[in-house]
Chains A and B, each alone.
Chain A
Amino acid sequence: MTLSAGAAAGAALAACGNDGPGGSESGGGGSASYWSLSGEPGEPYRQASIDRFNKANPDSKITPTFFQNDAYKAKIKTALGANQAPTLIWGWGGGGLKSYVEAGQVEDLTSLFGDATLKGKLLPGSFGAATVDGKIYAMPVETVQPIVLYYNKKIFDQVGVSAPQTYGDILDLVPKFNAKGIAPFSLAGQSRWTNMMWLEFMLDRNAGSEVFDNVFAGKAGSWSDPAVLDMLTKVQDLVKMNAFQKGFASTAADTNADQALLYTGKAAMMVHGSWSYGIQKAQGGKFVPDGGLGWMNFPPIDGGKGDPSNTVGNPGQYLSISSKATAADKETAKKFFSTTLVDDEEKAGWVKSGGVPVLANSDSLYTGDDAQFQKDMSAIAAGAKTFAQSWDQALSPTAAEVLLDNIAKLFQLQVTPQQWVDNMNGVIGK
């Protein structure tokens, strides 16, 4: 027996604003709504491309609304369930997109990308997370975002140490910074996905990419690899030796407090996505322009099986079109995809933000102050044997929530490595 979710929820929400797909009021062109993330470094460039499109297409209009990261993830799901989704749905691809596809909420864009000139403008590696059962349901947009190890060069000089080449070096550095009253690593533990970035690298460098590939494929007992236990023990050892700042469990990433710790010199290092560069440039005053920020791929772990060139993170961001939108709104969205989002100004904008655009042939644009960072990120993304998608985005929302919950408990020493493995084996394939 089934009932219509739209009937109850839709009726209750019908009176609540006109952000949904039914919000089109103009006559000829569509008026697509667009939801995305707020804040530096992305929001100004998202806004800029929408302004550009609206100016070039006077009879169509895209209206954006921006939300904070964690709030957005909940908001977009609720809106989809209530049939009040925006025309343009911003996301991370992977497991989240898969659940939208299974619910019939997003438009199949395979035919749009059947056009080789459009597809050819985007990096080929970015389409994996947009593809479900061989069909493309989202357009890769914005930037390629590998996760890297950042460090504060001024603090390193002050303490008289050099950047770590191996995980063993990191372990040696921790007590040295602690002795000077500087947190070795900044971590926004309350947000949980930040802790997850550590686990992604620790697992990859210890055990290679196979363990997570098996988890992603739904193979039973995948977490039972002995290398996983070893990696989890290493993470808890880091917590026990105070590798993270005091109060890391109550630091939230939404306010960029973790970034502030690094650029104010209260912390020496930080594992974070490449988007962090733009945040530190925008908020850290002279820190980035003065060459205070250093970066590198996560170093190899002694005796680990993983290829040190591997990386993890976001192979792109993704824009889908709501299947519930009107035909006119869908046309507006598709026009936005095939014109504004692949034009030269879009590419230049994301380069200016300090990121590596998901648009092909960007290398010649890396000439300004951020050139070195962008060349390095581009090289990491292109040179990686495996570019693993962030775990919480690759998995289904149900499995991802259990994963994030257990990761938070692992960092709080509330679960043992063995309990962690058992808990996580319990939700494989869910």
Chain B
Amino acid sequence: MTTLAPPAVRGQEPTRSRGGRSGSVLVWMVLPAFVMFVFFGIVPLLGVVLLSFATWNGITPTIQLTGLTSWKAALTNPGLVNALWVTFLIMALSWLVQTPLSILLGTFMARQSRYRGFLAVFYFIPLLLSSAAIAITYKSLLDPNFGLGAGLGIEALNQDWLGQANLAIATLIFVVSWQFIPFHSLIYQGAVRQIPQSMYEAAQIDGAGRVRQFLNITLPQLKYTIITSSTLMVVGSLTFFDLIWVLTAGGPGDATRALAVQMYQLGFQASLMGPASAIAVILVLVGIGLSLLLRRLGGRADESQMEGV
């Protein structure tokens, strides 16, 4: 959402005299958020980094700092490769499914239409629900013995959705998409409305059809929005835990055991807080790395599109 970038004030001489006062007001306004961020963001993060160099079972009153022992244990854990693979698989598949659908839906909803009011209410319901509630609902609906398929007697719906490795991944992607496509189409809807109408009028005069207009005007104009939305999707997919935990608990076997699930199982079930923290640090690093990479791919994504800025 590059349009939200604050207008730059470079070279604006008259503002300089007021700079000091508004600057100090700004500091006071930022302070509460900053304190919260330090207390609930930075401090726990440092704690996790520290824990990753320690050995702790989670219940002893003292924590032993043991250097790289926990890192070695985390990195040599036979489950790590699988967890990385599952994490990237979920990330890639959920991006591939969500992005095209969100763009199409966003574009569709941006147009003047009498169905839009209805859609706006009906379609955004998933956004209001918590992941755990969504997971419980789908788990019940998909149950091969008591679910929708068995209840309605529809054989095609009556698959072992969450009990077979490939199906479980596919189901997970479906539920993730069901939950988040509304949010991303909302972003795209806003972005499409920002595209100057004159561009479409010019294209119409040149005889371009709807598909051509979409491919040659809408898509290129959405470039920065795609990068923003993709960053949210990709980094967000690293944190999927509640949905996976309630739906499959990482199963069947370890087919849906993403890094976050692996971290939870090591820390809270196997009482290995050190290696679990090491995985948490890996997750943070992967998240930062991917965000930076996406910014690079998008060129100067932070450059404002607003005219004259």
| A binding-site residues for B, Cβ under 8 Å | 1-6, 8, 12, 73-74, 77-78, 80-81, 83, 99-100, 102-105, 183, 189-191, 245-252, 257, 260-261, 266, 396-398, 400-402, 404-405, 408-409, 412, 414
Contacts and interface: CB of A to CB of B under 8 A. Distances in A.
Interface residues of B, number: 43
Contacts of A80: 58-59
A245 B161 CA distance: 13
B268 to A, nearest CB: 4
Given A250-B162, A397-B271, A405-B254, A257 B59 contact: no
Contacts of B142: 250
Interface string B274-303: 000000000000000000000000000000
SS class of chain A's interface: helix, strand, loop or mixed? helix
Contacts, number: 137
Interface of B: 44, 47, 50, 54, 56-65, 79, 139, 142-146, 160-165, 168, 248-249, 251-255, 265-266, 268-273
A5 B62 contact: yes
A8 B58 CA distance: 13
B91 to A, nearest CB: 22
Contacts of B253: 249, 408-409, 412, 414
A190 B162 CA distance: 10
Contacts of B50: 3
A257 B64 contact: no
B59 A3 contact: no
A404 B143 CA distance: 23
B61 A189 contact: no
A405 B59 CA distance: 22
Contact of A6 (B61, B143, B164, B273): B61
A16 B273 CA distance: 22
A139 B114 CA distance: 68
A2 B63 contact: yes
B63 A5 contact: yes
Given A103-B57, A247-B162, A414 B271 contact: no
A105 B272 CA distance: 18
A102 B162 contact: no
A249 to B, nearest CB: 4
A8 B47 contact: yes
A251 B146 CA distance: 10
Contacts of B272: 398
Contacts of B251: 189-190, 249-250, 408, 412
Contact of A397 (B249, B254, B270): B270
Contact of B145 (A4, A104, A246, A396): A246
B47 A246 contact: no
Nearest to A426: B78
Contacts of A250: 139, 142-144, 160-163, 168, 248, 251-252
B163 A77 contact: no
A99 B65 contact: no
B58 A77 contact: yes
Given A247-B160, A249-B253, A397-B270, 8 more contacts: A4-B61, A78-B58, A190-B249, A249-B162, A249-B251, A250-B144, A398-B57, A412-B252
What 4 A-B pairs come out closest when comparing CB atoms?
A250-B162, A401-B270, A412-B253, A249-B252
A260 B146 contact: yes
A247 B143 contact: yes
A266 B145 contact: yes
Given A409-B254, A412-B253, A5 B61 contact: yes
A154 B162 CA distance: 30
A83 B249 CA distance: 28
Contacts of A247: 143-145, 160-163
A103 B146 contact: no
A246 B144 contact: yes
B146 A99 contact: no
Nearest to B136: A255
A2 B252 CA distance: 39
A165 B164 CA distance: 33
Contacts of A78: 58, 268
15 contacts: A2-B64, A5-B56, A12-B44, A77-B271, A83-B61, A104-B60, A247-B161, A250-B142, A252-B139, A397-B269, A397-B271, A405-B265, A408-B251, A409-B254, A412-B255
A99 B271 contact: yes
A104 B255 CA distance: 38
Contact of B249 (A252, A257, A412): A252
Given A5-B60, A77-B58, A398-B272, A246 B160 contact: yes
A224 B294 CA distance: 50
Nearest to A96: B271
Most B CB atoms within 10 A — which of A5, A104, A414?
A5
Contacts of B56: 5, 81
Given A249-B163, A249-B251, A249-B252, A103 B61 contact: yes
Nearest to B273: A81
A337 B151 CA distance: 48
B268 A77 contact: yes
Contacts of A83: 61
Given A246-B145, A401-B269, A402-B270, A105 B59 contact: yes
